[in-house]
Structure formats: C-alpha cells, structure tokens
Amino acid sequence: MQSDDFPQYGGILLQKPPGSLGSTAIATAAAAHHDTLVLSDLTLPSFKVMRDDFVSGRYTAMGLLELDKIYARQNSTAMNLEGLIKGLTEEGFRHFGSEDQRLPSLPVRAHVQAAMTTALARKHFERWMDNGFSRRFLWITFKLRDPSKIRDAVHDWKRLDFGTVVSKRPANGRIPYNMTPEESKAVQRAVKEQPGGNATAYAILKKIFCVWRWKFKEDPKRPMQLLKDLEEALSRNGDDLIL
C-alpha cells in the first residue's frame, strides 16, 4: 500500500533461531509478487547493476533470505550494505560513494524483508538502535513450536506444505486507507514493544492492515483475527510458529 502522507517503504525483519524456516517464509511470500526480487546475498556491485530496475518500478521489494551473510564480510563493506538497506527503506538511496554526488539522481526506494538469526540480532542490536536501523522495520520474532516436524518431513521424504500465497492487486495500483479509530488503536497496542520506537512500525502495520481489509473484503472480521495472531510475535517475548 502506497501513501502520500507516509511514503517510506519500510521493511520486515524475521528474527528466529537457525533452522526455523524464516528464509522459506520470505521466499514463499515473494513467489506471488512479480515485482519482488529475492536474493540469497547482497553486494554493492550487484545492486549497482540492478539499481535502474528499482528506479523504473520493475522491482519495488527485496527479499533477503539470510541477512547474516551481509555481516560475514569486512566491517566497512558490511556497514556500506547496511547503509544501502537503510536508504532503500526510508529516504531513498541516491549515490554510491564512488559517484559524483552532484549528479541529479532519482531516489531508489524498496520494501525490504529479511530473515536473520537471533545471534545476529544480539550482536548488532545496540548499534542498530543507535543508528536508526532498527526503527525502519517491523520486527517479527518467533521459533518453531515443534521442530520435529522438519525431521518428520525429511523422514517421509515430503516437503512441508506452506500453501500458496495468492496475490491480488487493485486496478489503479493503490489501496485506500480504511481503518476505524478502534482498529488503529489496536494496531498501536500491537507495536508498542517494537525496537527503536514504534512510529515506523505503526505505519507499516497500518498499511498491512489496510491491505488485509482490501484483500478480505468479503470477510470483515479477518483483519482483526490476523492482527491477533501476529500480535505476540511483535512483542519482546516473540511467539511460536505452528506448522
């Protein structure tokens, strides 16, 4: 959902222990959207090549299957990539350091979804709070309630079925803001423990809620049910993912 009043794209971070299917969730959700680019890794040279695809609107979202890979590099390189992601989700990325900063350039914006381990979050969280990285995202924290389901799937030689995400898009490309004051307050309560303050997380979740309302217009109770299902995973305690 685009908004003239809140134009930032923001992002979603899935924080979980290793082997909790975070990458699978991102890939499954992205499969239904032709304008989402899924990457197993991100480098500055690779983004430089595909930058114009984001400027032109061919891609409007990026799914990073393993955010940890970005930080498995020399520190200066990792920080440059972190700065790139920050720019994409908020004010827009304009220039690489090697380019002439005087050159007129269209800002590159993208919604970013990334999966990361809890170990990575513990290592960088204080710095992310200080430099504003954390506040640009909606954080979803979870673990598998029953990890044996993965072992059982391997034993049975049958992939876990995550279902199919069905994509629906409005003809004009815009979904209207459609929330009651009570629903807005419910969203505000859901993000009260989000890292880095809850203003951006609040705006992102309100946009998501409006998309739910538009997508499930034949079931008016569904958006609040989905919010309730998600609420605990947005808290500091996290939640269990039931397979």
Tens digit of pLDDT for each residue in 82-131? 999 999 999 889 888 788 888 888 889 999 999 999 999 999 999 999 99
Question: What does the pLDDT read at residue 130?
Answer: 93
Nearest residue to 141 via CA among 193, 186, 189: 193
Decide if 231 contacts 190 (C-beta within 8 A): yes
Instruction: Choose between 199 and 15: higher pLDDT.
Output: 15
- Would the pLDDT of 204 be above 60? yes
Instruction: Choose between 101 and 222: higher pLDDT.
Output: 222
Question: What does the pLDDT read at residue 4?
Answer: 58
Asked if residue 4 belongs to a domain, the reply is: no
Looking up tokens 């969280």 gives 125
Asked if residue 37 belongs to a domain, the reply is: yes
Residues 6+ apart with CB under 8 A from 107: 91, 92, 93, 94
Rounded Cα–Cα distance for residues 169 and 189 (Å): 28
Looking up tokens 């993208």 gives 110
Domain count, the chain: 1
Question: What does the pLDDT read at residue 6?
Answer: 67
pLDDT classification of 71: cutoffs 50, 70, 90: very high
Torsion, Cα of 221, 222, 224, 230 (10° steps): 160
pLDDT classification of 219: cutoffs 50, 70, 90: very high
- Would the pLDDT of 2 be above 60? no
Asked if residue 82 belongs to a domain, the reply is: yes
- Would the pLDDT of 171 be above 90? no
Asked if residue 2 belongs to a domain, the reply is: no
Residue 108's DSSP bridge partners are 93
Residue 188 corresponds to which amino acid?
Q
Question: What does the pLDDT read at residue 95?
Answer: 85
Residue 150 corresponds to which amino acid?
I
Question: What does the pLDDT read at residue 18?
Answer: 94
Decide if 152 contacts 196 (C-beta within 8 A): no
Decide if 227 contacts 188 (C-beta within 8 A): no
Domain holding 83, by residue range, is 11-241
Rounded Cα–Cα distance for residues 112 and 123 (Å): 21
Rounded mean pLDDT of 38-55?
94
Residues 6+ apart with CB under 8 A from 164: 32
Question: What does the pLDDT read at residue 99?
Answer: 85
- Would the pLDDT of 80 be above 80? yes
Asked if residue 208 belongs to a domain, the reply is: yes
Of the candidate ranges 58-72, 112-126, 169-183, the one whose mean pLDDT is the lowest: 169-183
Q: Report in angstroms the alpha-carbon separations of 239 from 5, 120, 182, 229, 234.
A: 32, 18, 24, 10, 8
Instruction: Choose between 210 and 159: higher pLDDT.
Output: 210
- Would the pLDDT of 63 be above 70? yes
* Mean pLDDT estimate for the chain: 91
In 121-207, the DSSP E strands lie at 137-144
Question: What does the pLDDT read at residue 161?
Answer: 76
Asked if residue 229 belongs to a domain, the reply is: yes
Asked if residue 1 belongs to a domain, the reply is: no
Token pair belonging to 126: 């204080």
